[in-house]
Amino acid sequence: MADEALSAGVVARTLGVAVTTLRTWHQRYGLGPSEHVPGHHRRYTSTDLSRLEIMRRLTAEGVNPAEAARWARRAPALTPPEHADRSTRPDGTRAGGGTTIPVGRAGPVARGLARAAMRLDSAAIGETIAHALATDGVVTTWDTLLRPVLAGIGERHAVTAGLIEVEHLLSRCVSEAFTAMTRVHPATGPARILLSCADEEQHTLPLDALGAALAEVGVGCRILGARVPVPALVEAVTRTGPAAVVLWSHTRATADPDQLSTLLAAPHRPLLVLAAGPGWRADTLPVGVVRPVDLAEAVSLAVAVRESQDRLPMS
């Protein structure tokens, strides 16, 4: 059993709850870890996990915690009949209420994050993202954890027109986590990369992800953020002389290629102009503009151009 035993952090992330919540459930309701290895912290067994899963589900459905804990402690032998059916209904709702966020083939941590997002539990969301960033780095966290959950929210929203509050809260938590990365990894040289959203574009998270991924490898950048009109972008380029500019467009509505042409004609033309995001159509991009396929490629291109500029003789 010892090698199956789980730490509090793993259990919290799997359930999508904060570690402090686990602690409270242990102290107040006796739902603690039962595995004891001498000289180590107590560990959770799979039976503890299934009890906690019942606790999480019942409290999320509005059952009072003391009552939920009574049922959880009696598991797996006994669960209340009205909560025993865990199957998903055809309309995507779970028995007992609430919609779920589809995360495709993403793993248990993404499902935990999706649950925490549904509960609007910013502490659990923040802990899960921070742990993933520290363990797996920005690119993997983006591709395997955040992107599936964000895309799942988009999918569910497109069908139900709901989950706007979930989308806003999660976006804020993601943005905060990426910003924290840039504080943990201060840049080693001048910021020679400029990240900007296209005019009227409000989807900023991919640029926050890129900013964090660059920080992780010691490359500084400036992020102008959402809805940048072309004259403001040109002004920023003129004043900061970046080696590379990344212009993000998430939807066709914000992907006017004239923005890129204006940038290429600017007096301080950057060495590299990247048109990033699903908004851009490859066949409409001006010559000289590069379109990355994903975050990893955007990072490599930006790092490469910065290194090539570092090698240029000073003028």
Q: Which stretch binds ligand B12 (CB under 6 A): 71-79, 141-149, 185-193, 232-240?
A: 141-149
Residue 245 in the binding site for ligand B12 (CB under 6 A): no
Comparing CB distances to ligand B12, the nearer of 5 and 149 is 149
Which helix (H) or strand (E) segment holds residue 224: the answer is strand 221-225
Range 189-208, binding ligand B12 (CB under 6 A): 200-206
Interface residue with ligand B12 among 44, 71, 142, 178 (CB under 6 A) is: 142
Residue closer to ligand B12 (CB basis): 33 or 102:
102
d(CA 17, CA 115): 8
Smallest gap from Cβ 204 to ligand B12, in A, equals 4
Hunting for tokens 């649950």 — which residue is that? 115
Candidate residues 14, 79, 99, 171; the one interacting with ligand B12 per rule CB under 6 A: 171
H helices within the chain, ranges in order? 8-15, 19-29, 46-60, 65-74, 81-84, 108-118, 122-136, 138-141, 147-160, 164-184, 205-216, 230-240, 258-264, 295-311
**Minimum distance from residue 162 beta carbon to ligand B12 (Å):** 12
Size of the site for ligand B12 (CB under 6 A): 33
First to last CA, the chain: 66
176 touches ligand B12 (CB under 6 A): no
107, 108, 154, 189: which one contacts ligand B12 (CB under 6 A)? Answer: 154
CA distances from 57 to 40, 44, 303 (A): 29, 18, 45
The residue type of 237 is: V
What are the structure tokens assigned to 4, written together? 């199956």
Write out the residues near ligand B12 by the rule CB under 6 A: 142-143, 147, 150-151, 153-154, 157-158, 167-168, 171, 175, 200-206, 209-210, 250-251, 254, 276-278, 292-295, 298
